Structure 1
């Protein structure tokens, strides 16, 4: 996938996540403006949830870990292309951060509140920190 631009990968992540949400019975909308701080809105039973879609990456600090399952890192910020400054999301802007990993076809949906003001959070694939959000839409019922 090295020859695919980062923008195409970001667009593909949004489409994949939208498809997964549709399969769960959500109506999914996408804003017309790129100036929005969220990528998707998921609606079900009259509840609207603002979703920011990110890349879900293996956490390199767990590379040599004895854990029998992978640990991922999910980032909850945007990057200013001019000065490289990171800007976190607020609860007014986004309800849930969803990370998707193309290579492993897995995702994690974590409520923004669970980041507790930090710009990233780890997600364990099994029994560990935020494991309940791995390949699960539980976060959408928590916001």
Structure 2
């Protein structure tokens, strides 16, 4: 078994344990083809959870939202939908985090911030403290919805002139001719990189 597989299993079991510690029953699917890793029964509210391994970044930690499956043409990667799962879950530095999939739709990865970069507007940051397991469970139990602001990503020249705007990081990468460029664009958006592929990439609230 590869180290990556071992780490994935370890993270999955750790996440399940955090739910169980809080008196929440978890159920694991029999089929290996389910999009989710387990179901959490939160006061009778069943939620589909997909576990992801967190990777350290300068301002916090990054989580990939991609699903990989084999086809006759090789491995294929897709993002998850709200029909497939309800939350992403991970463990980072002994803290469990729960992230609603609806907040990261269309993104191949996202960063939860522990150490905010002053160059990035505060309202654009996904603060890790807002996605701890306890906080998200409380939102579910009280029926409180987190504000889900819609954003756009502006592709700008070095002088700040907006060249174009996009709804997802994938669209940004495609505008540069290659989907693999998405990772560097993501780093630029989150402030850990100044520019990517000759442009500044700035996330802003979508105008009404």
For the aligned pair, the TM-score class normalised by the smaller chain equals 0.7 to 0.9
Runs (5+) with no aligned partner, structure 1: 63-69
1:89 aligns with 2:80: yes
1:42 aligned residue: 40
1:8 aligned residue: 6
1:124 aligns with 2:113: yes
TM-score by length of 2: 0.55
Q: Deviations over 1:95-135 (max 9, x none)?
A: 0001224xx33332110011032111110126652323454
Q: 1:13–1:55: 8 Å Cα contact kept in structure 2?
A: yes
Higher relative contact order (CA 8 A, sep 6+): 1
1:107 aligns with 2:67: no
TM-score by length of 1: 0.77
Which segment drifts farther, 92-101 or 45-54? 92-101
Bigger Rg, structure 1 or 2 = 2
Q: 2:11–2:52: 8 Å Cα contact kept in structure 1?
A: yes
User: Equivalents in 2 of 1:84, 1:137: separation in Å?
Assistant: 36
Cα RMSD after superposing both structures: 2.3
Q: 1:75–1:120: 8 Å Cα contact kept in structure 2?
A: yes
Q: Deviations over 1:19-59 (max 9, x none)?
A: 10011121001001110000010002110010000101112
Match of 1:79 among 68, 71, 76: 68
Runs (5+) with no aligned partner, structure 2: 117-124, 147-208
